[in-house]
Amino acid sequence: MNYPIFDGHNDTILSLYLKKPGERRSFSEKSDSGHIDLPRAREGGLFGGFFAHFIPNQAKSEQLSPGSYPGTSSDAAGGYEVKKAVGLPYEYATRFAMGMANLMFEIERDSGGELKLVRTVSEIAQCMQDGVMAMIYHFEGAEMIDEDLNALYLFYQAGMRSLGPVWSRDNIFAHGVPFKFPSSPDVGPGLTDAGKRLLRACNELGVLFDLSHLNEKGFWDVESLSNAPLVATHSNAHALCQSARNLTDKQLDAIRATNGVVGLNYHVGFLREDGKSVKDSSLSDIVRHARYMADRIGTDHIALGSDFDGAMMPADLKDAAGLPKLVQALADAGFDHGDLEKITHKNWLRVLRDTWE
Ligand SMILES: [Zn+2]
């Protein structure tokens, strides 16, 4: 079942950047590795989304691969906790961010017009119409931005239109939620003063301020200070999977109250009731979270936020080419045509219009 799909989160640029130029798969050619390239995106109906720029941990021993995190300790009951990553030096983060930005522009150039960096919703709508892939330049963790926020304005000029102040570690702006199961997301203090200034500047510029990876106190700081809809680009329901990365019912309600949106994350460890990252998982878990959220906050406030190229996908979904199977499963679960249009792309376009314009 094919619907045009706009997606809240992928790590495709990073997955390509981490490979040496000679060993890098081409974004334009169909591959068996990773989750997104242009042919597989086209097959699945994926016409655009948030392309995250994420700065990995500096020490090799602290770097992660899809579905596996180093420094993990587990307990007999099946719970786990990942040792929180150390903060990043600004110089390292900036150098890395520049390299990723250059690769992004190179891929856009090499695509021959098949992939386009987008800054407005009308550009996204045009991409949808023309069969061009729309790419939002998004920061997952703002370590490349200085406390004076000069870099924010520079990156904005380069096309950046969305950022999460933190990944799951701490920085000068905020405190990330740990990878921990079972755990409440209420871990650590809220936004710092610099984080509040960053939020105000994003509100003024019309840059989306993403809540996924932010801890709960930070979430409520944003809720009380922001003038934009609340958005979590790639998170699930804590009531169904008690990972600290997921959203409590109260947080979901707050997102609805601001006419915001949650992008459903396909990472099996954030979907399964037991919190385990097990390859042999089913996309029916995504449907379970969709149903729960729809019953709680309505289909105007749920969307998709795959985590493709950065997480472990359910075996029966596999990659972007498998998206029609997910849409079919949602239809089988009772979501009607109007719901599916909203979930697959319309909600994202509405929230981006409300945030950017
Ligand atoms: Zn993430």
Distance, C-alpha 288 to centroid of its chain: 19
How much is the pLDDT for 316? 98
16-35 in b/e burial notation, b at 16+ Cβ within 10 A?
Answer: bbeeeeeeeeebeeeeeebb
pLDDT at residue 27 tops 70:
yes
How many Å lie between the centroid of ligand 1 and the Cα of residue 305?
A: 10
Domains of the chain by start residue, with CATH: 5-356 (3.20.20.140)
Q: What is the pLDDT of residues 93-128, one digit of tens each?
A: 999 999 999 999 999 999 999 999 999 999 999 999
Mean pLDDT along residues 194-210: 98
How many Å lie between the centroid of ligand 1 and the Cα of residue 204?
A: 25
How many Å lie between the centroid of ligand 1 and the Cα of residue 21?
A: 25
How many Å lie between the centroid of ligand 1 and the Cα of residue 234?
A: 7
How many Å lie between the centroid of ligand 1 and the Cα of residue 167?
A: 7
Mean pLDDT along residues 39-61: 92
How many Å lie between the centroid of ligand 1 and the Cα of residue 213?
A: 7
Mean pLDDT along residues 230-255: 98
Kindly write down the DSSP assignment for every residue of 27-77, as one continuous string: TTS--SSSS--HHHHHHHTEEEEEEEEE---SSGGG--BTTB-TTEEE-TT
How many Å lie between the centroid of ligand 1 and the Cα of residue 233?
A: 9
Mean pLDDT along residues 203-218: 98
